[in-house]
Chains A and B, each alone.
Chain A
Amino acid sequence: SQTIHQWPATLVQPVGSPLSLECTVEGTSNPNLYWYRQAAGRGLQLLFYSVGIGQISSEVPQNLSASRPQDRQFILSSKKLLLSDSGFYLCAWSSTGTSPQHFGDGTRLSIL
């Protein structure tokens, strides 16, 4: 069966520090991969998605970036975090664009 792992679970970072969140999927090949952000009490905002290695599409302009160095690995990064980057970050995978997306446990990011 397929599983998705996301880490770390929580992270507290100072403003201006770098960020690296990692997500890996097991039990499937060539998945679609997604990064979402959920601000406190809000809905989900799609940040990035990827349909293959090295293929990244950005949905919103921001100081975040994403990379997919391997088929089942998706990384969310930032060179300098802003206070507004605080939130709950969720990674997800799906087999096609219309199949259900399955989510990781999320990372709670607090910027001080």
Chain B
Amino acid sequence: AQKVTQAQTEISVVEKEDVTLDCVYETRDTTYYLFWYKQPPSGELVFLIRRNSFDEQNEISGRYSWNFQKSTSSFNFTITASQVVDSAVYFCALSGKTGANNLFFGTGTRLTVIP
């Protein structure tokens, strides 16, 4: 069965601090995809990144970086030098290799960046 666990329900950091959002997943598929989405207070979900299970290279995009480790089934998301605009709920999600209904979301982590 597919499952995504985001153990951190809420995190608060002071502006300019670094913060890591944890994501642990379970799947029996050998090919799968992992995603992160951002949901700002306005409500829409914004796609941030997709990684496939064969690519464990870490990725950096500006202040955002992602650490994918198959050995621990984790796909953690780090924001460096956090800003108030980073305040949002962040969702990790998992998709298997087939099926249109195959995106499983974690319960989200609410990040508050305090100025």
Instruction: Count contacts on A: residues with CB < 8 A to the other chain.
Output: 27
B interface residues, how many (CB within 8 angstroms): 24
The segment out of A14-22, A61-69, A74-82, A97-105 that lies at the interface is A97-105
Asked if B30 is at the interface (CB within 8 A of a chain A CB), the reply is: no
CB within 8 A of A106: which of B44, B96, B99, B103?
A: B44
Contacts A97-B98, A97-B99, A105-B42 given; does A43 touch B47 at CB 8 Å: no
Choose, from B14-22, B59-67, B71-79, B105-113, the stretch at the interface.
Answer: B105-113
Interface: B100 (CB within 8 A): yes
A-facing residues in B41-95 (Cβ within 8 Å): 42-47, 50, 91, 95
Name the distance in Å between A108's Cβ and chain B's nearest Cβ.
Answer: 7
Contact B47 A101 (CB under 8 A): yes
Greatest chain A CB density within 10 A among B43, B105, B108 is at B43
Chain B positions 32 through 46: 1 when the CB is less than 8 Å from some CB of chain A, otherwise 0: 010101000011111
Question: Does A46 reach chain B (CB closer than 8 Å)?
Answer: yes
| A44, A92, A94, A108 interface centre (most CB from chain B within 10 Å) | A44
Q: Report the bound CA distance from A103 to B93 in whole Å.
A: 14
Given A44-B91, A105-B44: A97 and B108 interface contact (C-beta under 8 Å)? no
Whole-angstrom distance between the alpha carbons of A106 and B44 in the complex? 6
| Interface residue? B3 (CB, 8 A) | no
Q: Provide the main secondary structure of the chain A interface.
A: strand
Cβ proximity bits B4-28 to A, threshold 8 Å, 1 near / 0 not: 0000000000000000000000000
**Given A90-B45, A105-B43: A46 touches B101 (CB 8 Å cut-off):** yes
Contacts A43-B91, A44-B91; is A101 near B103 (CB within 8 Å)? yes
Chain A residue nearest to B48 (CB atoms) is A100
B47 contacts A100, CB within 8 Å? Answer: yes
Tell me the A residues contacting B by CB distance below 8 Å. 32, 34, 42-44, 46, 49-51, 57, 59, 88, 90, 92, 94, 96-106, 108
Lowest 9 A-B CB distances belong to which pairs? A43-B107, A103-B45, A97-B100, A106-B43, A32-B100, A100-B47, A49-B101, A105-B44, A44-B105
